[in-house]
Amino acid sequence: MVTATSPYQGYVYAYPHKTAYRPLDPRPPLRRVWEGEPMDSLSLYLHIPFCEMRCGFCNLFTRTGAPDELVAAYLDALERQAGAVREALDAALDGTSGGAPGASGSTPGAPDGPAFAVAAIGGGTPTYLSAAELTRLFDLAERTMGVDLRTVPLSVETSPATATADRLAVLAERGTTRISIGVQSFVDAEARAAVRPQRRAEVEAALGRIREAGFETLNLDLIYGIDGQDARSWRHSLDAALAWKPEEIYLYPLYVRPLTGLGRRARDWDDHRLGLYRRGRDHLLAAGYEQVSMRMFRLPDPARTAAPAHTTGYCCQSDGMVGLGCGARSYTSTLHYSHEYAVGTRQVRAIIDDYVRLAPGDFTAANVGFRLGDDERRRRHLIQSLLQAEGLDPAAYRARFGTEATADFGAEFDRLAARGWLETDAAGWPRLTAEGLAHSDAIGPALFSGAVRELMAGYEAR
């Protein structure tokens, strides 16, 4: 039920949220978790939990100032995990009972192995790694997981300080198609207010190096709602971003959360953020961008005939994801799982320290997670679809579940429509109106099931 008065309840980038995950007892073997799952169009996600600094708004699973020996130990553990996970996937495909990593009859990269349609490296800041360490990471993905990163869309996150020429050269040579950089603001005072002490000159230099490297897609992240930011300075940052003609721009509202720097001085500024969002949206639309979601705007591509999920062969509503790294999550049709989750500095460091000591056999089962019954699978499909500007495809929903979305979620649709947030387009697709998209961060959480909300409420932030 959509009753929230604030348009900023929470960013729904996945359902259910990780705070709804709980320890799995008994821990299911990964080969059983993946048995019977379609593996012809998977997503591969590699998580690097290191940053050179921690921004005041950040609640990601990351630590700063990791010494070289810890980074090397993390990559060692990531390699052990990759070997164990690949073994489990092969065993699941073969229908064998599996065994110790390396015992399967399948050869990594063989045609009958799992097929990856898209890949991403996130964090943290993946380019915290040196050029040599990035090379090792790419080798791991290709040789152990069997994905040819030069033939699938590959997205990598970076930062102004770590987007160095040698690192970018490795990313370009190994097939990176999209690079995303968190600029947040082109106004130095605003960057300081967000506890991201970077100068515009440093940002511009990094963007120049990225463009020189020749990536197919450049994405810039900007944040609105920073202390001291007004309509004029927001427009200044938007225009500074547009000067680089990025193929994508993400507009993020500033959130203040527990256990983060800015979370200790939160105040109500919903109207201010909503006003800045509308100005940003309208400015980008006028500049020729199309809106994909509340946050994502992209330049139209005349060659694009379908949504990116379909052109890559991957559909986030239904296809699985294999996550590697202690902050990564993995998705099957009935189980979402990961390692432990934390935000606080001490807890994050402890989890990473534990991760790097794990043996290959420790990676053969799921640790914490959430089991999705039929209702939760329907609800996830609804949320993942409705929060995109194109809306929900009734035929795809019907083909997957054998029911009509309007019958399963009619009451929710009626409430959204009554507020002017939902409409049905000429093709019969339910989709959010412009004002509905503006309230995505209230609509998404309101569509969570009661069970998920109860688990999230019972999670103790740490």
pLDDT of amino acid 311 = 47
Place of tokens 């993400």: 250
Res. 66 pLDDT band, cuts 50 70 90: confident
pLDDT of amino acid 112 = 67
pLDDT of amino acid 224 = 96
Determine what percent of the chain falls in helix, strand and coil, rounding each to the nearest 5: 40, 15, 45
Of 263, 246, 319, 249, the C-alpha closest to 43 is: 319
pLDDT of amino acid 24 = 96
290-302 average pLDDT score: 94
Res. 440 pLDDT band, cuts 50 70 90: very high
Q: Which of 9-13, 279-283, 319-323, 436-440 has the lowest mean pLDDT?
A: 9-13
Kindly report the CATH class assigned to 18-370.
alpha beta
DSSP 102: T
Q: What is the pLDDT of residues 392-427, one digit of tens each?
A: 999 999 999 999 999 999 999 999 999 999 999 999
Q: Where are the alpha helices (DSSP H) in 220-333?
A: 231-242, 270-286, 308-311
pLDDT of amino acid 462 = 65
pLDDT of amino acid 269 = 75
Q: Which CATH architecture has domain 374-457?
A: Orthogonal Bundle (1.10)
Distance between first and last Cα of the chain: 29
Res. 69 pLDDT band, cuts 50 70 90: very high
Give the whole-angstrom CA distance, residue 377 versus residue 180.
30
283-290 average pLDDT score: 98
Res. 58 pLDDT band, cuts 50 70 90: low
Q: What is the pLDDT of residues 170-209, one digit of tens each?
A: 999 999 999 999 999 999 999 888 867 789 999 999 999 9
Close Cβ partners of 20 (under 8 Å, ≥ 6 residues apart): 370, 452, 455, 456, 459
Res. 14 pLDDT band, cuts 50 70 90: very high
Res. 150 pLDDT band, cuts 50 70 90: very high
Q: What is the pLDDT of residues 79-129, one digit of tens each?
A: 999 999 999 999 999 885 444 333 333 344 444 689 999 999 998 899 999
Q: Concatenated DSSP letters for 178-234?
A: EEEEEEE-SSHHHHHHTT----HHHHHHHHHHHHHHT-SEEEEEEEE--TT--HHHH
* Between 459 and 4, the higher pLDDT residue: 459
Res. 229 pLDDT band, cuts 50 70 90: very high
Mean pLDDT of the residues in the chain: 88
DSSP 29: B
pLDDT of amino acid 4 = 52
Give the whole-angstrom CA distance, residue 268 versus residue 274.
12
Q: Token pair of 205, please? A: 């230099």
**CB atoms inside a 10 Å sphere around CB 27:** 16
- The model carries a pTM of 0.90
What's the chain's Rg over C-alpha atoms?
A: 22
Domain boundaries, the chain: 18-370, 374-457
Q: What is the pLDDT of residues 299-341, one digit of tens each?
A: 998 765 433 433 457 899 999 999 999 889 999 999 999 987 7
**CB atoms inside a 10 Å sphere around CB 360:** 16
Buried b (16+ CB within 10 A) or exposed e, 260-289: bebbeeeeebeeebbbbbebbbebbeeeeb
26-40 average pLDDT score: 96
% residues pLDDT > 90 (the chain): 75
* Between 374 and 124, the higher pLDDT residue: 374
Q: Is the pLDDT of residue 138 over 50?
A: yes
Give the whole-angstrom CA distance, residue 318 versus residue 377.
9
pLDDT of amino acid 268 = 63
DSSP 143: I
